Homo-oligomer: A and B are copies of this chain.
Amino acid sequence: MKLLTRDTDYAVRALIFIGKANKRKIGIITVDEIVRSLNLPKALLRKLLQTLSKNKILKSGRGKHGGFSLLKDPGKINVSDIISIFQGPVDFTNCLLRNEPCPNRKVCRVRKKILSLSGYVDRELKKITLSSLT
């Protein structure tokens, strides 16, 4: 039972790399540089970073000397965000009777339990920020 897919994992690793570089005042990082350091499949990583750009996690520059840098403060980027982007929001409340419109949804204690569990996990994942990782 895994929590993160490979997309999320690669994305986080790339973000850590970019975050570290930004810390050392290296403003812009290219896909090639990340690939050289982390040994990830280039075509895939490009796709992932493009997705992160669309989702306002990264800023991108095109053309010669283009590349990526963090758009937000590393303290404001967290694992829950990245999961949301690649795997959908952290939400476990696909209830056990999901196919039928569960009759006792409102009072069901299980649902309440799963709901609170899900909330807890999400809050904890939100605490794992990029700055805590670099």
Contact = CB atoms under 8 A, between A and B. Distances in A.
A118 B4 CA distance: 12
Contact of A94 (B3, B94, B98): B3
Interface residues of A, number: 32
A4 B113 contact: no
A90 B12 contact: no
B91 A110 contact: no
Given A1-B88, A13-B97, 15 more contacts: A1-B90, A1-B91, A2-B94, A3-B92, A3-B118, A4-B92, A4-B94, A4-B96, A9-B98, A12-B96, A96-B133, A113-B127, A117-B121, A120-B120, A121-B121
Interface of A: 1-4, 9, 12-13, 83, 87-92, 94, 96-98, 109-110, 113-114, 117-118, 120-121, 124-125, 127-128, 132-133
